[in-house]
Amino acid sequence: TCLFKTPLLVPTPRKMYALLTAVAGLVLLPFLLHARFPYLWPDLQYVLRGVGIALRMRSYAKRAPCYTVLDRFLDRVRAQPGKAFLVHDGGRFSYLDVDRRSSQVARVLSRRGRLREGDTAAVFMGNEPAYVWVWLGLAKLGCVASLLNCNIRAGSLLHCFSCCGAKVLIVSADLKEAVEGILPTLLDQKVAVFVLSKECDTVGIEALADELDAASEEPLSPALRMNVTLKTPALYIYTSGTTGLPKAAVINHERMWLASFMQTIAGVTSSDVIYIYLPLYHSAGFLMGLTGAIDKGITVVLKRKFSASQFWNDCRRHNVTVIQYIGEIMRYLCNTPKKDNDKIHSVRLALGNGIRSDTWTEFLQRFGGVRICECYGATEGNIGFVNYTGKIGAIGKVNTHSLQRSYPYAMIKYDTEKEEPVRDSRGLCVEVPLGETGLLVAKITKSTPFSGYANKEQTKKKILTDVFEKGDLYFNSGDLLRTDHEGFIYFQDRIGDTFRWKGENVATTEVTDVMIMLGFIEEANVYGVRVPGHEGRIGMASLKLTQGMKLDLLATYEHIKTYLPSYAIPRFLRIQNLLDVTGTFKQMKVKLAEEGFDPAVIRDSMYFLEDNKGYVPMTKDIYSSISEGRLRL
């Protein structure tokens, strides 16, 4: 039965030699493998972390009652009560401090707002420590927190508040006025509105601060949230779509866990300090940042708002080791004046998405050895990727077994003109060949569910059916991705970031990249506008000029002509002092595209590209020749 015993025990010289080479081979193996499969180790590490996460997830689901991020927080409080959890504007709150305050919040809200397990309460606050204990307080009652974007007002605020059935609204003192605008409607709907200040003279809004201070700090009974499972909604997070009103994505406890694991995958350790300046009402700040930090038990330096000038000083002052980013932020940081101490900081890891390769390279050169972990994933999506290998520009990598089998996804052919997937004669979608760009779709299964939006209609719109088989269901990511021959996945475009002109696809990011090579252009937002009598959309660029510099029309024309094909050259330029950005800094292309290029409507200065001549100021004459079809483009 034991085949190997004899030869090993009594080695002949020949066998001895074979054994030695085998041992030497084992020692050398990692090096040989590294040469042949350079990404084996990162792949393996990633798969191992993935397996670890899957095991944790299973055990959390099995416990009764299930184990949520709140339970993790409470375990942290027991293990490290005195450790700093939140640092904000000179204030410092330990894990125990935050636990006590959240218990006070829970008591007062259950008494005054009559909140019970399963109820929803909306939180309308900016980044501040109270945000965290209000949410934890709600979680202790088994309630769902609806995280309202603190920049929205009036009609859209009401829309967002109403679409998730909240019966309580909690607002910070500085945002009270924004709520007053919609107060009559809220009171009509019997909504209880609370402000976190000591007093409030607005009828219908109750001040809570004194009562909070007076409430007991003792822990609350877990029986209050006894029925919570991993599938129970934990949060509503509004996704800032490029079109229409925001949608409330349902984040259940399982999804909250999965997003929080991002820090584990990226290699965050318990001694790290994370800097959170992204808004807590979005998934990047809340899930990848805050709840991820709770999972790791680390200190969070919470910043009200991003500030390019304070960024590195904050990092130095608080010994920050991990930062989050979105592409634009990295560019803003690179655009700040160079300083001698640019490389003096302890930041070792940047976690985020949307960075362009040129910015990535520039950032590393300028600010030193920060490991950039680019990840891809939507708040409501059922799939995500991570660049765990260090390949500049890539958002992730297909690793042979794990991903595609357990998370079935595909890149399918997409018709940018009709704005829908290409279908074959049987009505099914078509996968793109390796190396080509396609729309990312991810199969909706029991293990990769799509929890959807509060609104069922919107949920339906994000689901594609009959993708590869009749009746199958896929999540439509709305993103165009490409996989190269080594298996690296690249983000190409968000649908809407491409438009079609003269039968060609124009990638707006590519045009932007070319335009900002010019020193006097600080930012460029490129989009397509409709022209009467023409198919497709023609290019237009809204520019923000570098401070103190002038727009050089001739140089712009010469430069763009050199780098871009004729169909991609913006035909119109619009100069704006401030480019409109959404709360997450996504440029608002749709709004600009709708505004078009009519000089009677647009007050900003505009330029038109005359055939073979260059840019000239836009006039009413040019506009009417174009719209009446006398001037063909």
Residues making contact with ligand NAG (CB under 6 A): 117, 226-227, 266, 318-319, 371-374, 387-390, 392
At its nearest, how many Å lie between ligand NAG and the CB of residue 182? 30
Q: Do 233 and 219 contact (CB within 8 A), yes or no?
A: no
Residue (358 or 522) nearer to ligand NAG, CB: 358
Residue (319 or 625) nearer to ligand NAG, CB: 319
DSSP states of 255-272: HHHHHHTHHHHHT--TT-
445 Ramachandran zone, left/alpha/beta (phi>0; psi -120 to 50) = beta
Alpha-carbon span 486 to 530, nearest angstrom: 39
Q: Which residue is nearest to ligand NAG (CB)?
A: 390
Enter the tokens of residue 614.
């260059």
Residue (266 or 439) nearer to ligand NAG, CB: 266
Residue (56 or 371) nearer to ligand NAG, CB: 371
Q: CB atoms < 10 A from the CB of 357, how many?
A: 13
- In 3-state terms the chain splits into helix, strand, coil percentages (rounded to 5) of 35, 25, 40
At its nearest, how many Å lie between ligand NAG and the CB of residue 371? 4
Residue (370 or 622) nearer to ligand NAG, CB: 370
At its nearest, how many Å lie between ligand NAG and the CB of residue 449? 23
Residue (489 or 626) nearer to ligand NAG, CB: 489
Residue (382 or 387) nearer to ligand NAG, CB: 387
At its nearest, how many Å lie between ligand NAG and the CB of residue 191? 21
Task: List, in order, residues 6 or more apart from 353 with CB less than 8 Å away.
Answer: 284, 325, 326, 327, 374, 375, 376, 377, 395, 491
At its nearest, how many Å lie between ligand NAG and the CB of residue 258? 17
At its nearest, how many Å lie between ligand NAG and the CB of residue 488? 10
Residue (149 or 387) nearer to ligand NAG, CB: 387
Residue (331 or 462) nearer to ligand NAG, CB: 331
At its nearest, how many Å lie between ligand NAG and the CB of residue 389? 6
Task: List, in order, residues 6 or more apart from 340 with CB less than 8 Å away.
Answer: none
Alpha-carbon span 118 to 68, nearest angstrom: 15
Q: In the block, which residue shows the tokens 């335009």?
A: 515
Buried b (16+ CB within 10 A) or exposed e, 477-497: bbbbbbbeeebbbbbbbbbbb
Alpha-carbon span 83 to 76, nearest angstrom: 9
Q: Do 11 and 19 contact (CB within 8 A), yes or no?
A: yes
Residue (148 or 265) nearer to ligand NAG, CB: 265
At its nearest, how many Å lie between ligand NAG and the CB of residue 360? 7
Residue (312 or 474) nearer to ligand NAG, CB: 312
At its nearest, how many Å lie between ligand NAG and the CB of residue 616? 43
Closest Cα to residue 321, out of 348, 352, 351, 289?
348
Q: By CB neighbour count within 10 A (0-12 exposed, 13-18 middle, 19+ buried), where does 629 fall?
A: exposed
Alpha-carbon span 379 to 287, nearest angstrom: 9
If DSSP codes are grouped into helix, strand and coil, which group holds residue 525?
strand
Residue (177 or 486) nearer to ligand NAG, CB: 486
Residue (117 or 362) nearer to ligand NAG, CB: 117
Buried b (16+ CB within 10 A) or exposed e, 566-590: ebbbbbbbbebeebeeebbbbbbbe
At its nearest, how many Å lie between ligand NAG and the CB of residue 302? 14
Alpha carbons within 13 A on the beta-carbon side of 612? 0
At its nearest, how many Å lie between ligand NAG and the CB of residue 443? 26
At its nearest, how many Å lie between ligand NAG and the CB of residue 608? 41
If DSSP codes are grouped into helix, strand and coil, which group holds residue 441?
strand
At its nearest, how many Å lie between ligand NAG and the CB of residue 372? 4
At its nearest, how many Å lie between ligand NAG and the CB of residue 615? 37
Q: Do 337 and 364 contact (CB within 8 A), yes or no?
A: no
Alpha-carbon span 633 to 158, nearest angstrom: 43
Residue (137 or 246) nearer to ligand NAG, CB: 137
How far CA 557 is from CA of 562, 566, 632, in Å, comes to 9, 11, 20
The distance of Cα 483 from the centroid of its chain, to the nearest Å, equals 21
| 8-state DSSP, 578 | S
